[in-house]
Amino acid sequence: MNSETIWQQLFDALSASYRRQLLVALLEHNPQDDDPDPLDVTADGETDLDVLEIDLFHRHLPKLEEQEFIEWDRESGEIAKGPKWEEIGPIIRLIHDHRDELPDGWL
């Protein structure tokens, strides 16, 4: 895979806030458990859990799994670092380590 394709995949994976947050969460807790809302996105009461689950199961998780950044067990709901984690891991670590310096809403 050429470097341009890798960058395209990285930016695609990081283009959605939920995916960025999930990947950062995997730094500290690998694997994530079977909680359908592991990042407590619905805690603010503004997000409908059913809508979130649809987005998760039909958009976010399949995209990250297809790119092999995560492994996702649909039966148990477990999410873990995937075979290509090392391609995205250093960028996720930078985001994590500098999250206080990022503009609001970036993470």
The Cα 73–Cα 67 span in angstroms is 15
More confidently predicted of 25 and 52:
25
Q: Which of 75, 71, 74 is nearest to 85 (CA)?
A: 71
Confidence of residue 82 (pLDDT cuts 50, 70, 90): very high
CATH number of 3-101: 1.10.10
pTM summary value: 0.78
Give mean pLDDT, residues 44-71.
80
The Cα 81–Cα 83 span in angstroms is 7
What pLDDT is recorded for position 29? 79
Above 90 in pLDDT, residue 107? no
